[in-house]
């Protein structure tokens, strides 16, 4: 199920989804009917234009904006919080300069904020993230970076989960065994609307601790120039994830 979900998402999200639609449109354009020819050319054109639009930062930020309802954490929100949980965000596989797998860029953004928050609050840390594609578990790399590079101790390591739902399900017993029921959950701002409910379903009280907000450049030109699809892709992935869990809840 996990691999099937990943394959389907990869086929839907850009660049694959729009490219497949464009190819289908070109195939339709070879039909004998002028109506189908016109429809195929229109589909191919719109698909390629959408791919171009999705590669601009301004569209990526627009898609991200509704996914960031949680404001930056204020000191008062930590009152009553018993632990900090940091979600993994991907690995940097086979890093030659580090001699093997280590944390990827999104994970680094999360643990940096986690280390900063842990120093200010003196709360214990839990890191969560497995190795869904093989290699070293994200949580092991997260603990190593936090302890060796940021000088912050990690109390719990959950290294078997493959996605956010499993992170919540497998982290909850570790926290419960220590009598912890209220946590601050660290992830990217656009990821928390999906992550927070999953942890709350495990009986935890969750305070959202977002980091790495999607923020536009002060330069209008930079916002308009096509650069990469990462912002739009992350946003669309979250919308698909939210839709998946809503359908799952409705059918259960």
Q: Output the pLDDT for position 43.
A: 97
Handedness of CA 61, 3, 104, 116 (dihedral sign): positive
Q: Output the pLDDT for position 7.
A: 92
Q: Output the pLDDT for position 29.
A: 95
Q: Output the pLDDT for position 4.
A: 86
Element containing residue 145 per DSSP (H, E): helix 138-148
Q: Output the pLDDT for position 222.
A: 95
Which residues touch 25 (CB under 8 Å, ≥6 apart)? 39, 40, 41, 42, 43, 44, 45, 47
Identify the CA nearest to 209 among candidates 113, 130, 98: 113
Bridge-based pairing state of the strands 91-95 and 100-103: antiparallel
- Measured distance CA(209)–CA(24) in Å, rounded: 43
**Angle, CA 69 vertex, CA 14 and CA 132 arms, to 5°:** 45
Domain coordinates of the chain in residue numbers?
A: 9-55, 76-211
Torsion, CA 149, CA 94, CA 57, CA 116, rounded to 10? -10
**Rg of the chain in Å (alpha carbons):** 21
Instruction: Give the number of other Cβ atoms within 10 Å of residue 14's Cβ.
Output: 17
129 within 8 A of 167, measured Cβ to Cβ: yes
Which of the four CATH numbers 3.20.80.10, 3.40.50.1000, 3.40.50.2020, 3.40.50.620 does domain 76-211 have? 3.40.50.620
How many helices (H) and strands (E) the chain has is answered by 10, 7
- DSSP assignments along 173-191, one per residue: HHHHTTT--EEEEEEETTT
**Residues of the chain below pLDDT 70:** none
């Amino acid at each position: 199920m996990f691999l099937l979900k990943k394959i389907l998402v990869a086929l839907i999200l850009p660049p694959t989804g729009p490219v497949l639609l464009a190819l289908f449109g070109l195939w339709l354009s070879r039909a004998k009917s002028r109506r189908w020819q016109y429809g195929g050319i229109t589909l191919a054109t719109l698909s390629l234009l959408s791919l171009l639009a999705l590669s601009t930062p301004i569209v990526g930020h627009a898609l991200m904006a509704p996914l960031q309802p949680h404001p930056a954490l204020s000191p008062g929100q930590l009152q009553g919080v018993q632990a900090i949980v940091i979600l993994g965000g991907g690995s940097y596989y086979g890093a030659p300069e580090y001699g093997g797998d280590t944390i990827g860029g999104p994970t680094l953004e999360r643990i940096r904020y986690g280390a900063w928050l842990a120093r200010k609050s003196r709360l214990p840390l839990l890191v969560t993230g497995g190795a869904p594609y093989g290699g070293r578990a994200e949580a092991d790399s997260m603990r190593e970076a936090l302890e060796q590079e940021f000088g912050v101790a990690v109390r719990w390591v959950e290294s078997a989960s493959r996605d956010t739902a499993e992170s919540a399900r497998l982290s909850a017993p570790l926290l419960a065994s220590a009598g912890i029921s209220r946590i601050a959950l660290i992830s990217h701002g656009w990821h928390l609307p999906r992550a927070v409910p999953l942890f709350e379903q495990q009986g935890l009280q969750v305070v959202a601790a977002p980091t790495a907000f999607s923020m536009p450049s002060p330069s209008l030109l930079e916002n308009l120039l096509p650069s990469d699809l990462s912002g739009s892709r992350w946003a669309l992935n979250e919308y698909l994830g939210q839709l998946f869990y809503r359908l799952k809840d409705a059918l259960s």
